[in-house]
């Protein structure tokens, strides 16, 4: 087992270190299709309002009138007249339906939809979504959704008030439940040019992409406009088939440049480091303060010879604090690779949350050669 894995084993299990670079091993080249997107070929979001029926008494009640109003409108369109005073439904729920339509979707293409309750329904399990139009930002209908709901959770309760729940039961999916009814025009070639948008903008990566395209298709074909865009001029022999050009661009391999970053999630105590993280020689002393609060209820009994007074339970609070003093100043030698950084950080022997504070202090002192992102 190499030194990097040994160093990772000594760290806390919640500390995740990725992208280990050993020795002079070069970075892996990536396909251009994994680094860039073709400008103009984009997804579009759709949203709609509908009704889910067939719920087993877990739908909206009379305090949420959305479902009953929508159901009356639906029945009227079907030629059924219903008195609103006779509707006492718990098997119907008002829902919002969302979907994403990918580029180049044709009529009849099926889409997955997400259904979420907007009333006070307790569960959508067993329900069926009634045909719902899905509209875009221009308020035009591009798809219709319908089908049985698939819920990824459950809830159960007993007569004494005890209950249990797994995941969320008021959100469901309808796999392939929407049909595209209107196509969205997609234009990815403008004036014989194709624009590539980098998913992670970086000047060096954009320059390397332009050089790789010129090497594969000819000098002067590509031009890096900025850190996030590369303009490609369609060669004369491929102007009749721009799809072939985009396919060939996607197969070009480029070695991207990644920034040295440390991502800290303080909620979960997770720390992720990139492969370019470096550490300068530094000395660290780490301590901590522990505060303990104890609540002990006590009974207060009145001592009155003539009667009167009430017996009450009063709280008794005890607060103790203690500070952990470090035994000595720890010296950390410089680390030129991620494996050495993991080896150096493992010497502290602290929890991830404390290690996150150390990393931020190292960055402030200029000893950590990385950008620290706190989520």
- pTM summary value: 0.69
Domain span at residue 370 reads 3-24+261-303+310-374
Q: What is the mean pLDDT of residues 266-281?
A: 79
Question: Does residue 142 lie in a domain region?
Answer: yes
Percent pLDDT > 70 in the chain is 74
Check whether residue 241 and residue 115 sit in a common domain.
no
Please indicate, yes or no, whether residues 206 and 246 belong to a single structural domain of this protein.
yes
d(CA 244, CA 2): 44
Domain annotation covers residue 193: yes
With respect to residue 29, please indicate whether it lies within any of the assigned structural domains. Answer: no
CATH number for 236:
3.30.310
- Confidence (pLDDT) at 191: 86
Residue 348 pLDDT class (50, 70, 90 cuts): low
Say if 39 falls within a structural domain. Answer: no
Domain termination site, one of 127, 153, 180: 180
Q: Given a cut of 50, is residue 21 above it in pLDDT?
A: no
What is the rounded average pLDDT for all residues in the chain? 79
Would you say 254 and 205 are in contact if contact means Cβ atoms under 8 Å apart?
yes
Do residues 160 and 54 both lie within one domain? yes
48 shares a domain with 168: yes
User: Which pairs count as long-range contacts for 69-78, CB under 8 Å and 24+ apart, including other chains?
Assistant: 70/94, 74/130
Residues 175 and 199 in one domain: no
**Is 31 among the domain residues?**
no
Is residue 38 situated within a structural domain? no
> Do both 319 and 229 map to the same domain?
no
Average of per-residue pLDDT across 21-49: 78
Shared domain check, 265 and 235: no
Q: What is the pLDDT of residue 321?
A: 55
Q: Could you tell me if 172 and 86 lie in one domain?
A: yes
**pLDDT per position as a tens digit, 128-159:** 999 999 999 999 999 999 999 999 866 665 55
Residue 367: the pLDDT is 80
162, part of any domain: yes
Whole-number Cα distances in Å, 371 to 7, 267, 339, 345, 375: 22, 19, 18, 17, 13
362 and 290 within one domain: yes
Question: What confidence tens digit (pLDDT) does each residue in 201-253 have?
Answer: 999 999 999 999 999 998 989 999 999 999 999 998 888 888 999 999 999 99
Question: Which of 66-70, 99-103, 252-256 shows the lowest mean pLDDT across its residues?
Answer: 66-70
Domain boundary among 231, 254, 277: 254
Task: Tell which of 180, 198, 224 closes a domain.
Answer: 180
Higher-confidence position of 135 and 305? 135
Same domain for 268 and 242: no
> Percentage helix, strand, coil, to 5, in the chain?
20, 35, 45
pLDDT at 330: 62
104 and 14 in a single domain? The answer is no
Same domain, 214 and 291: no
How many domains, in total, are found in the chain?
3
Based on the number of CB atoms within 10 Å of its own CB, is 356 exposed (0-12), middle (13-18) or buried (19 or more)? buried
pLDDT tens for each residue of 316-332: 766 665 555 555 556 66
Note whether residue 32 is domain-resident: no
Cβ-Cβ contacts under 8 Å for 314 (sequence gap 6 or more): 297, 298, 299, 300
């Amino acid at each position: 087992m190499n030194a990097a894995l040994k160093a990772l084993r000594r760290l806390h299990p919640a500390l995740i270190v990725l992208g280990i670079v050993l020795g002079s091993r070069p970075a892996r080249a990536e396909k251009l299709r994994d680094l860039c997107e073709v400008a103009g070929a984009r997804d579009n979001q759709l949203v709609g309002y509908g009704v889910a029926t067939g719920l087993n008494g877990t739908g909206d009640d009379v305090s949420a009138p959305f479902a009953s109003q929508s159901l009356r409108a639906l029945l009227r369109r079907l030629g059924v007249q219903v008195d609103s005073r006779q509707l006492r439904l718990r098997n119907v729920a008002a829902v919002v339906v969302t979907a994403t339509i990918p580029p180049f979707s044709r009529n009849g293409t099926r889409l997955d939809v997400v259904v979420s309750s907007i009333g006070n329904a307790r569960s959508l399990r067993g329900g069926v979504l009634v045909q719902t139009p899905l509209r875009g930002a221009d308020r035009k209908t591009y798809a219709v959704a319908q089908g049985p709901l698939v819920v990824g959770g459950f809830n159960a309760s007993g007569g004494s008030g005890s209950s249990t729940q797994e995941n969320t039961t008021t959100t469901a999916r309808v796999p392939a439940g929407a049909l595209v009814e209107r196509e969205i025009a997609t234009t990815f070639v403008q004036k014989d040019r194709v624009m590539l948008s980098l998913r992670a903008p970086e000047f060096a990566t954009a320059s390397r992409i332009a050089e790789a395209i010129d090497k594969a298709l000819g000098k002067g074909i590509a031009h890096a406009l900025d850190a996030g865009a590369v303009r490609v001029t369609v060669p004369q022999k491929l102007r009749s088939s721009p799809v072939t050009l985009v396919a060939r661009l996607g197969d070009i391999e480029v070695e991207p440049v990644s920034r040295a970053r440390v991502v800290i999630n303080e909620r979960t105590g997770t720390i992720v480091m990139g492969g370019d993280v470096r550490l300068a020689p530094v000395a660290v002393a780490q301590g901590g303060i522990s505060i303990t609060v104890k609540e002990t209820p006590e009974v207060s009994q009145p001592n009155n010879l003539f009667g009167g007074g009430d017996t009450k339970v009063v709280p008794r609070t005890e607060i103790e604090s203690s500070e952990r003093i470090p035994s000595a100043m720890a010296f950390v030698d410089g680390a030129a690779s991620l494996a050495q950084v993991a080896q150096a950080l493992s010497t502290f022997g602290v929890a991830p949350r404390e290690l996150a504070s150390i990393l931020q202090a190292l960055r402030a002192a200029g000893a950590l050669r990385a950008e620290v992102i706190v989520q």
